[in-house]
A and B are shown apart, each in its own frame.
Chain A
Amino acid sequence: MSVQEVLPLGGVATGQSGDFRADHRLVAEMVKPGSKVLDVGCGEGDLLQLLENRGIDGRGIELSREGVNRCVAKGLAVVQGDADTDLVNYPDDAFDYVILSQTLQATRQPRVVLENLLRIGRRAIVSFPNFGFWKMRLQLLIGGHMPRTENLPATWYDTANIHFCTIKDFVELCDEINVKMERSVALDLYGRPVPLNLPWWVWNMFGEQAVFLLSRGSGK
């Protein structure tokens, strides 16, 4: 992976304004209207709600019973399930997009999950917190303890997040399993995209989180 392969991203809303999270708005903009979407680990359905508002046919899977029940109560089509074990039950090409928003780091087998995403969906959108973010590095380097941030407040011993990675790590995984990166965006501490003309290491350093639009590679 090199930065040249990253296609330009146009018209992304910046900052934290509005009712929806910056990364959710970014994800929603990557989805073509009228398509069919599966949101894996959809939480309380905020992203699904945003997608439905845009006329996108959205479905969700969520592990927590409370999350599912809140989604259903919002009228969203969400089922209780586990990304690690339940994705195998979905047929090939069932969706136009499969979204994994801030969930990759909580899966037991990120690689298998990623492969499943691109089997079920023609495209996948993956967002995750970047463990290469400068604040994370600083907490480990200077503070000498496992990093905690506003978005990831849990301590190391009671976190559901078991597979952290950096933007660089993720890009390497995509290369390894022959996944094509159609678009990629790093968002800084304020939810603003890190400028594209900056070198790749800057993304890895200053992106607090990253969002990738992926599609199946051309074959190994």
Chain B
Amino acid sequence: MGDVKSIPSPAISADERSHEVDHPSSQIAHFGAEQPLRLDCGVDLTPFQIAYQTYGELNADRSNAVLICHALTGDQHVANVHPVTGKPGWWETLVGPGRPIDPKHYFIICSNVIGGCMGSTGPASINPATGKVWGLEFPVITIPDMVRAQAMLIDRLGIDTLFAVVGGSMGGMQVLQWTAAYPGRVFSALAIACATRHSAQNIAFHELGRQAVMADPDWRGGGYADQGIHPHRGLAVARMAAHITYLSDAALHRKFGRRMQDRELPTFSFDADFQVESYLRYQGSSFVERFDANSYLYLTRAMDYFDIAADHGGVLAKAYADIKTRFCVVSFTSDWLFPTSESRALVHALNASSARVSFAEIETDRGHDAFLLDVPEFLDISRAFLQSAGKARGLKDG
């Protein structure tokens, strides 16, 4: 790797990207010295900020707030045009007018997680103590840290109980953490394509990605930002590897097969002869335009550390003892990153806690990514679950 011809340089300069890092084009909640974020690693993060988007209106009794938790490389721009890429929101299939989570009925909140790089404090932010980019000086964060920060944001917004917390993948982990940490503050929880802990295989894939980033000479021990560069080649490789895990063999085969890109015969070189290669290179290069390499290291690490049962004496059911939250757990048949067996283990634990839980496995060959795609059965179930929870909550037209 490292051939500039095969992976183009980012179209957006580091300056433009870093503007969104500290001065996002969305709303920001600042937390000063009086409200530090107590991190699992023992450090108090202060001051810090959370960037977030909202859609719709909070109703009079503050009972219709829905928190959307984003996945590893997502951000707060869940249902609006992205300020850096110019692309539609990342979850427009589920969130938006006429969609299961409709701003007409709900007050929708989506925040960039702590450790991210789209406006919430993270390794790409300026460390106020030094005036320089945090880089690897930033403390290691966990999923519970992200959720603790979100809870502070929800407090700031004056919301006691969220009507629903919704998320897929890393967002689903946040949903599960929310219900374990703040059971009384979550009326319903929709956890999609996720698990209560990160598996060894998933940690292995993350390590592959991190090593790709750190092997890039431009990474400079994590101190690239102050030198005005970005390890985009390493990050692109990390993204390419991760992207394969988000799909399935069947989906890749249907989309590309062994078809060649703009040619009939192989070139007998290492150019992107196959369409699938060219697709992955595109995925890698477009990702580096909007994402910070160190942030990728921190967020993958947060997922790796996630293990709810371990935080409750090894017994998952204890995390959800006597919980009143209504759960809906969804998995996809071709998801090999978070296979159905992981969801089933969660459902068994919830049953043992006598929680009100629904669980559906959706038949699809589109892999882990299915939760972001237009999969009607999944969207129908999400809508029905939220509608029935809305009825129980006394929401109108929910």
Contacts and interface: CB of A to CB of B under 8 A. Distances in A.
Contact of A68 (B344, B356, B360, B391): B360
Interface residues of A, number: 23
A80 B361 contact: yes
A94 B356 CA distance: 12
B104 to A, nearest CB: 20
Contact of A59 (B356, B381, B385, B387): B356
Given A69-B377, A69-B381, A78 B358 contact: yes
Contact of A72 (B348, B356, B384, B391): B384
Interface string A42-76: 00000000000000010100000100110111111
Interface in A85-108: 86, 89-91, 94-95
Interface in B325-350: 326, 328-329, 344, 347-348
B357 A75 contact: no
B352 A69 contact: no
A77 B347 contact: no
Contact of B360 (A72, A86, A94): A72
Nearest to B389: A75
Interface residues of B, number: 26
A76 B352 contact: no
B91 interface: no
Given A65-B363, A77-B326, A71 B351 contact: no
B354 interface: yes
B332 to A, nearest CB: 11
Interface of B: 326, 328-329, 344, 347-348, 351-352, 354, 356-363, 377, 380-381, 384-385, 387-389, 391
B103 to A, nearest CB: 22
A89 B384 contact: no
A125 to B, nearest CB: 19
A65 B361 CA distance: 7
21 contacts: A57-B356, A59-B356, A65-B360, A65-B361, A68-B361, A69-B362, A72-B328, A72-B381, A73-B380, A73-B381, A74-B384, A75-B388, A78-B359, A79-B357, A79-B358, A80-B361, A81-B347, A89-B351, A91-B352, A94-B352, A95-B354
A94 B351 CA distance: 9
Contacts of B389: 75
Contacts of A90: 351-352
A203 B348 CA distance: 39
A79 B358 CA distance: 5
Contacts of B384: 72-75
B65 to A, nearest CB: 20
Contacts of B329: 79
Given A68-B359, A75-B388, 8 more contacts: A57-B356, A65-B360, A68-B361, A69-B362, A74-B384, A76-B358, A80-B360, A86-B348
Closest 3 CB pairs of A and B: A75-B388, A79-B359, A73-B384
B330 to A, nearest CB: 9
Contacts of A81: 347
